[in-house]
A and B are shown apart, each in its own frame.
Chain A
Amino acid sequence: GQNIDQPTEMTATEGAIVQINCTYQTSGFNGLFWYQQHAGEAPTFLSYNVLDGLEEKGRFSSFLSRSKGYSYLLLKELQMKDSASYLCAVRDETGKLIFGQGTTLQVKP
């Protein structure tokens, strides 16, 4: 079956670095997406990985290891506005996006 696992909740301090992990087991793999969703708002696209390695975009980086079925999202220099849910999603062999349940990150002063 299709399965995406992420921690349910994480807490970190303003200015620190946090890593949100995602492991997946899907029927086929056509890329992995990370989305950010603030409470009551639409999910917004953060990153896309289809090849192994690290993709960096400002304070956010995303890593993928296809052989391990593993990805992480790294957030540096945390700000209070980074408090949100972070959704990991894998595009399977049919092209469908399979989402994890999301990780709620709380950034504390």
Chain B
Amino acid sequence: ETGVTQTPRHLVMGMTNKKSLKCEQHLGHNAMYWYKQSAKKPLELMFVYSLEERVENNSVPSRFSPECPNSSHLFLHLHTLQPEDSALYLCASSQVLRTEYEQYFGPGTRLTVT
């Protein structure tokens, strides 16, 4: 595996379910990010981790809970979501936080909340 991978690619869940999104980067990067991409809206930064420590939480509701057990893996735990949370969730990584280095994105998880 190379680059940034995300599983699952598609997820349908009810509002009372609990599920988790997984992201893995094979690039040796030290920073990882979660973004939300809704139709006709800009990418929204949700969480930032640097060296496994959360450095930013962008006013995201508590029904989204991130976890970074090591520098290669990032999870987004979901519970009691709302239909408006349906979106594409993208994971990204970069070599170092807050530099000119570009972010590498995974293919995303298309989430539908019913």
**A63 at the binding interface (Cβ < 8 Å):** no
- Asked if residues B40 and A101 are in contact (CB atoms below 8 Å), the reply is yes
Q: Determine the interface band of chain B, counting residues with CB < 8 A from chain A.
A: 20 to 34
Stretch from A12-20, A38-46, A52-60, A72-80 that touches the partner:
A38-46
- Asked if residues B42 and A101 are in contact (CB atoms below 8 Å), the reply is yes
- Asked if residues A100 and B42 are in contact (CB atoms below 8 Å), the reply is yes
- The SS class assigned to the B binding surface is loop
Residues of A within 8 A of B100 (CB): 30-31, 48, 50
Tell me which of B40, B41, B44, B105 contacts A44 (CB under 8 A): B105
Which residues of B59-114 are within 8 A (CB) of A?
Answer: 90, 97-98, 100, 102-108
Given contacts A42-B4, A43-B90, contact A99 B104 (CB under 8 A): no
The distance from the CB of A92 to the nearest CB of chain B, in whole angstroms, is 10
- Asked if residues B102 and A45 are in contact (CB atoms below 8 Å), the reply is yes
Residues of B within 8 A of A31 (CB): 100
**B45 at the binding interface (Cβ < 8 Å):** yes
Please report B residues at the A interface, Cβ cutoff 8 Å.
4, 40-45, 48, 56, 90, 97-98, 100, 102-108
